[in-house]
Amino acid sequence: MTSHPDSLPEPVLQPSWTQPSRRAFIGGAVIGTVGVLGTVYAGNASAGSSAAADVFRHGIASGDPLPDRVILWTRVTPTPDAVAGSGRGSATTIRWEVATDPGFGSVVSSGSTTTDAGSDLTVKVDAGGLNPNTGYHYRFHVVDGPAAGAVSPVGRTKTAPATAAEVARVRFGVVSCSNWEAGYFSAYRHLAAQPDLDAIVHLGDYIYEYGIGEYTGKNGPVRRHEPAHEIVSVADYRIRHAQYKTDPDLQLAHRDLPWICTWDDHESANDSWASGAENHSAAEGDWPARKAASEQAYYEWMPVRPVPDAGGRHLYRRLRYGNLLELSMLDLRTYRTEQPGTTSNAADNPAATITGAAQMSWLTNGVVSAPTRWKIVGNPVMISPILIPPLEPRTTAALTELLGIPKAGIPLSSDPWDGYTADRQRLYQALRDNNTQNTVFITGDIHMSFACDLPNDPANYPGAGTVGTELVTPSVTSSNVDDLVGAPEYTVGNVAAAALTNVNRHLRWVDTDAHGYAVLTVTDAATQMDWYFVNNRDDPRSGQRYGQSWRVPNGSQKVGPVGRPAV
């Protein structure tokens, strides 16, 4: 499952241009410019032909593997004008197949479905009747209409082990924060080449909502967003998802591995909460309508299986890998209250929530009762406190109350769990009360790499003990410390890393400047994360380098360095 597809086009470098102003963060024109495809769509197009490549130009994907089924996804473009977000395109019947061999001599599951412009011509099926812990091949055929006969590339996927199975090892790729304008997605290509992966976990910010030049790389946009403006409508979000899925390295990673995804803020708007977002104004319309538009496009374009509920559906969910691990994927945007200021003691307000009451109950009850060795939490924003400095509430309560600041210290940001300390304490208390071991949060969002212990009291670490650990993946491309200040790599960043770890001793390791991905390997004995960094996100053919490895032994509740990857 490591080869690069010969049929995918090589990325094309966009011309460089001057960096426009960009919004503060961390520190339908497109339809008119799509142009003629240059290929006449013909019936009975054969697999591998240019016509078939245009029909399936956004690739194929699978996701949310269960022991007996997996989500299969694609998008068809049956005619040149039926581009994403256009509202055009007649109803099209698609046949899907799952087989044990790449030649499809042994088809084990198949069926047909119809798509139309109402779902932006996306195709999602929950392919059942599969065996646990088994690799499969899958593909799609266009049955009728102007693109009849077109056949998709062949993808590969894998089901989860049976719920009660004895599982020796699971390996996940871990990624987040892939900004089109900030660079090329080489990290996905290198991740797809990692051996023996069971799935890729994406922790949010799969797309970015900004217009051209509003949030870019160090030297301006490496390639330009479509549409050119900030995305607000369902058509806008569809166009942006479609653009991202033309990246050849992202297509490769989707084609060859199942993905397990959740959203963070940029799938809708920056620093969003239940009733608004930092990057949303009244001039852009009603926030609930914008959020609903972003969710509609996300569910159409992503291989996820949301959970039905009384209100419709929700994205937080669990996936089980035998007796070894249970993965709880969180949604930390849809239900949260508005972020407090970093110097406001509103962060300690018991009514403030990052999860919402229903999700918090689901999370705590699930983690403390999980029958698996490891409890892995897919966490879109950091839960480890980053405080300036950590304070001891028993001795500084009078001072913090007088100043009106959070009692544990001023956080670096109030958008992560640091802005919602009561929710964090509810979760920590549940872990302590139940003596829950082996809880590991895997996290994205912050565009840096961290290995952390989760302290009961940050000002009294390690004396007060820990409740778990956190391992944070870097961004695929989104800008971090050196990019935002325009400094050479690891100049300002090394100073910042030292400052953070000196005053927050539970932050065991920080890399502020690299972009890339991580691989999480879980066994009975330990959970280990290995970090890999791309050499140059501006280069579509960038190589990679090995970064660090940190390991959590079974029962230790603490993370420590190791000298080599877990492979």
Residues in contact with 218: Cβ distance below 8 Å, sequence separation at least 6, in sequence order: 479, 482, 483, 486
Q: How far apart are CA 527 and CA 197, in angstroms?
A: 15
pLDDT given at position 78: 96
- Pair of tokens at residue 299: 């569910």
pLDDT given at position 405: 54
Given a cut of 60, whether residue 371 has pLDDT beyond it is: yes
| pLDDT bracket for residue 411 (50, 70, 90) | confident
pLDDT given at position 461: 96
Q: Can you tell me the mean pLDDT for 409-416?
A: 86
| pLDDT bracket for residue 51 (50, 70, 90) | confident
Q: Can you tell me the mean pLDDT for 198-226?
A: 97
Q: How far apart are CA 320 and CA 327, in angstroms?
A: 6
pLDDT given at position 517: 98
347 neighbors 297 (Cβ within 8 angstroms): no
172 neighbors 201 (Cβ within 8 angstroms): yes
Given a cut of 70, whether residue 398 has pLDDT beyond it is: no
Angle at 179 between CA 170 and CA 354, to 5 degrees: 65
Given a cut of 90, whether residue 435 has pLDDT beyond it is: yes
3 state SS of 337: coil
pLDDT given at position 165: 98
pLDDT given at position 562: 97
Give the pTM: 0.90
- Pair of tokens at residue 17: 């241009």
Q: Is 488 exposed, middle or buried (0-12, 13-18, 19+ CB in 10 A)?
A: exposed
Cβ atoms within 10 Å, residue 195: 9
Task: Give the distance between the most distant pair of CA atoms in the chain.
Answer: 77
Distance of CA 88 to the CA centre of its chain: 29
pLDDT given at position 345: 82
Q: Can you tell me the mean pLDDT for 83-100?
A: 97
Distance of CA 537 to the CA centre of its chain: 18
| pLDDT bracket for residue 388 (50, 70, 90) | confident
pLDDT given at position 50: 56
Q: Can you tell me the mean pLDDT for 355-365?
A: 98
Q: Can you tell me the mean pLDDT for 408-417?
A: 85
| pLDDT bracket for residue 391 (50, 70, 90) | low
Residue predicted with more confidence, 377 or 409: 377
| pLDDT bracket for residue 396 (50, 70, 90) | low
Quick: pLDDT tens for 528-567. 999 999 999 999 999 999 999 999 999 999 999 999 999 7
Report which of 403, 445, 1 is spatially closest to residue 264, judged by C-alpha positions: 445
- Following DSSP, what letter does each residue of 445-469 receive, concatenated? SSSSEEEEEEES-GGGTTTT-EEEE
**Which H helix or E strand runs over 252?**
helix 248-256
pLDDT given at position 454: 98
Q: How far apart are CA 40 and CA 293, in angstroms?
A: 33
Given a cut of 50, whether residue 15 has pLDDT beyond it is: no
Quick: pLDDT tens for 503-536. 899 999 999 999 999 999 999 999 999 999 999 9
pLDDT given at position 392: 62
Q: Can you tell me the mean pLDDT for 127-155?
A: 97
pLDDT given at position 400: 43
Peptide bond into 462 cis (omega under 30): yes
% of the chain exceeding 70 in pLDDT: 88
Chain position carrying tokens 């599951």: 109
User: Which of 146-150, 353-357, 408-412, 425-429 is the least confident region?
Assistant: 408-412
Residue predicted with more confidence, 83 or 567: 83
Q: Can you tell me the mean pLDDT for 307-312?
A: 88
| pLDDT bracket for residue 28 (50, 70, 90) | very low
- Following DSSP, what letter does each residue of 368-401 receive, concatenated? HH--SSEEEEEESS--S--EES---HHHHHHHHH
Q: How far apart are CA 314 and CA 6, in angstroms?
A: 38
Given a cut of 50, whether residue 40 has pLDDT beyond it is: no
Domains, the chain, with CATH or none:
42-158 (2.60.40.380), 170-562 (3.60.21.70)
Strands (E), 53-210: 60-66, 69-75, 92-99, 107-115, 122-127, 135-142, 155-158, 169-175, 199-202
Residue predicted with more confidence, 467 or 312: 467
Residue predicted with more confidence, 50 or 33: 50
What is the rounded average pLDDT for all residues in the chain? 89
Q: Can you tell me the mean pLDDT for 362-375?
A: 98
Distance of CA 28 to the CA centre of its chain: 27
